[in-house]
Every structure is written in C-alpha cells, then in structure tokens.
Amino acid sequence: MARKFLYLVVVLVVLALAALFAYRFYGVEIMRRTMVPSGEVVALAPPERGAYAHADMWIARPDKPGNPASWTPQGYAPATKPPAAVFFVHPTSFVDTTTWNAPLDNQDANNRAALFLRGQASAFNSIGAIWAPRYRQATFGAFLTSKASARQALDFAYRDVLTAFDQFVTEAGERPIILAGHSQGALHLSRLLVDRIAGKPIAKRIVAAYVVGWPVSISADLPKMGLPACARADQAGCILSWQSFSEPADPSLIVDTFDATTGFTGKPRAGTPMVCTNPITGQPGDAAPAEANLGTLIPDANFQSAQLVAGRVPARCEGRGFLTIGNDPPDFGQYVLPGNNYHVFDYSLFWANVRQDAERRLAAYGK
C-alpha cells in the first residue's frame, strides 16, 4: 500500500511538472485554445438614456456605501473633501467562454472588478472622488484572437464606457479631472481620449490620464489622443502608460496582437515604440532602483487585503517601451501571466508612487 502511495505521489509530481512546463512554454497558445468563445457575438442594445444617472450602474462613486475605491492600506486614508474627480475604467474581470460580453449583473465579474478597484483606483483617493462604472466588458478571450466577434464585443463595451463618461462629466461639476484605467479599461480610455478629449475644451481640465496596462504607440496613437506623453514628474495635462514584466520578459502575447493593428492616426502600429512612463519616477524611459519604490501592495492569500511593502520592486523602461521589474519580483503565484507578465499588478507594484504621482500632478495643474 505504501509503495502504491509513493507511485501515486510520483505520478502527481510528474503531471504537475508537465503542466508547469506546458504553461511556461506554450501558455499563450493554451490560453487561446481554452479562453476564446467559440460562438458569434450577440448584438447589445445601447445603454438606456440616463442609465448612468442611477447609482447601481457604478461599482464606485463618492456616495456609494462600501465603495471599494475608498480602501487604503494601513497608514493611509482617503481624502474627506477631495478636490479632483477621477473617472476609472476597471480591467477585464469577466472570464466566461460561453459569451463575448459580460451581463451587468454577473456577480463573479462584479466582485473581481471591486477587488481590482481596491488595488488600483484606491491609489487616487487621496486627491480625487472616484467614479468607476459597470460596463458590459468583453470577456478575457477577446484579447487572444483576431476574430471579428472580439472587435465587436469591445465596441459594445466601449459604448457603455462613453455613456458613463458623459454622465461622469455632469457629476464632476467644474473639478479638475483624472482619467485612469487598466488593461481593457485602458483600451477604452485611450479611445475615449480620442473621441471626448482631443480638441475639446474639457482637455484643459485633465490633470493626467493613466492609460496603464495597454500599449500606446508614440507615432501611431499618441498624436490623436489630445494630450502629450508626460515628459516630467511635475507635468499636468499628459498621458502615462506602462506594462510590467519581470526578467526574462516575453511580451509576445501583447506584441503579436498589437502589431497587427492600425493606430488612431491610421498608421500601422507594427514595430513602433510605445509610451513607457516609469511609475516610480513619473518620467519616461528611465530607471529607478527598488529603494525608490515607496510601496508595493502585497496581497494576502485570498486577495481580500494587502500589506504595503517599500523598497521591494525596481523599474526600468526597455526596448520598445516595456517596463521591467528585475528578476526577483514578489511571488504572486498563478496570477502572473505567460512571459513573466505582471500585467495584473501594474498598479499594485507601484501603488504608493502612483499616489504620490497623482498628488504631484494635481499640484502642478493650473500653474
């Protein structure tokens, strides 16, 4: 019996190692085969007029009880009377493979979105009242394929975000505005900059736009987005963007898809350099040691809370514009994507520095 048990242990270890090997070397292809919906996209009706005037259409807003964006780690607190207004578009939290767009009442997706707001949008609560809309986001698999259904699903999701933003502008009054998002949220935010900010009076009210976890081509996208890339840490009215990888980095999951597309200018994105803001320094294209990192959010086992740890993670812009965080990053387990992609933690890795960055840019606003 003991020998049979040992054989079973050996078999399980071999299977586990085989699975790990497959994930490490074929992770991208496995994800594409298992996460992309097989059916066609279902057309979604536009949001009803005035839909986002209702509180239940927002995951976070200043008057919402239990607002997840109001969370802070020990030693920090949200502002009681924040001077700015923040429009935050959460990343993909819907992973269903039976449909291309998330229903607004999908509890799993909404719970994950609230968790993301705790670790991401919370960085802005020292200076801004935060609005984060529910929207019929495209499922995760939409980013792993070039199918027409994926593009349509993203278009449906973006339409919701635009409608929410128009309501946000009404709610925000005359306050200065910070725009922020991550991943799918940053994609929608980049389109929103083109459609709602560029060339319009509201552009003068933008303190900064944090287009994080989504590539922004300097030549094919930026000229149409209405704001320049941030050149200094104390600059207002500009765009920040970064994508985090540990070393050795393999960004093929991003590059393969991005390089097959055309930018907002109509020019191809293939091979073009991307905006890379170092979130530790607030400056483009530079490097900073771990000692300059004011605090990384290290989550607990169930991702319900986190401890802020200073001096743990460095940052350096490299190559076309990817942010590398060295070869000894925190252990975030299964949430690290293939290619040593720390995408899920783009904000959390630099939480305290992002907070300081937003405060500094608000101080520079209007000067």
pLDDT bucket at 69, cuts 50 / 70 / 90: very high
∠ Cα 340 325 349 (to 5°):
95
- Give bridge partners of residue 238 from the DSSP assignment: 208
pLDDT bucket at 270, cuts 50 / 70 / 90: very high
- Do 62 and 125 contact (CB within 8 A), yes or no? no
How many other β-carbons are positioned within 10 Å of the β-carbon of residue 71? Answer: 19
* % of the chain exceeding 70 in pLDDT: 89
∠ Cα 186 144 198 (to 5°):
25
Average pLDDT for residues 189-199, to the nearest whole number?
Answer: 98
Contact partners, residue 302, CB within 8 Å, separation at least 6: none
**What pLDDT does 4 receive?**
37
- 173-183 pLDDT, tens digit per residue, is 999 999 999 99
Q: Provide the mean pLDDT of the chain.
A: 89
Residue 26: pLDDT above 70? no
**What pLDDT does 182 receive?**
98
- 206-227 pLDDT, tens digit per residue, is 999 999 999 999 999 999 999 9
- Do 244 and 325 contact (CB within 8 A), yes or no? yes
Instruction: Give exposure, 260-298, as e/b (b: 16+ Cβ within 10 Å).
Output: eeebbbeeebeebebbbbbbbbbbbbeebebebbbbbbb
- Do 216 and 194 contact (CB within 8 A), yes or no? no
Contact partners, residue 141, CB within 8 Å, separation at least 6: 32, 35, 36, 37, 95, 97, 150
| Annotated domain spans of the chain | 38-364
Residue showing tokens 């520079």: 364
Residue 213 per-residue DSSP state: T
* Mean pLDDT lowest among 28-37, 129-138, 264-273, 337-346: 28-37
Top pLDDT among 23 and 49 is at: 49
Average pLDDT for residues 100-118, to the nearest whole number?
Answer: 94
How many other β-carbons are positioned within 10 Å of the β-carbon of residue 76? Answer: 16
**What pLDDT does 297 receive?**
95
Cα(90)–Cα(214) distance, rounded to whole angstroms? 12
**Does the predicted model carry a pTM greater than 0.95?**
no
Average pLDDT for residues 157-172, to the nearest whole number?
Answer: 97
**What pLDDT does 11 receive?**
36
Contact partners, residue 355, CB within 8 Å, separation at least 6: 76, 123, 124, 126
Q: Which of 183, 188, 325, 303 is nearest to 253 (CA)?
A: 183
How many other β-carbons are positioned within 10 Å of the β-carbon of residue 193? Answer: 24
- Do 221 and 265 contact (CB within 8 A), yes or no? yes
H or E stretch at 170: helix 148-172
**What pLDDT does 25 receive?**
44
Cα(290)–Cα(349) distance, rounded to whole angstroms? 11
Cα(91)–Cα(67) distance, rounded to whole angstroms? 17
H or E stretch at 153: helix 148-172
Average pLDDT for residues 195-210, to the nearest whole number?
Answer: 98
Average pLDDT for residues 168-193, to the nearest whole number?
Answer: 97
Residue 10: pLDDT above 60? no
Cα(349)–Cα(343) distance, rounded to whole angstroms? 10
Top pLDDT among 16 and 90 is at: 90
Residue showing tokens 């991702």: 303
Cα(24)–Cα(30) distance, rounded to whole angstroms? 10
> How far is the CA of 208 from the CAs of 79, 119, 363, 365, in angstroms?
19, 19, 12, 9
**What pLDDT does 303 receive?**
63
Residue 56: pLDDT above 90? yes
Average pLDDT for residues 348-359, to the nearest whole number?
Answer: 98
pLDDT bucket at 72, cuts 50 / 70 / 90: very high
Average pLDDT for residues 51-70, to the nearest whole number?
Answer: 95
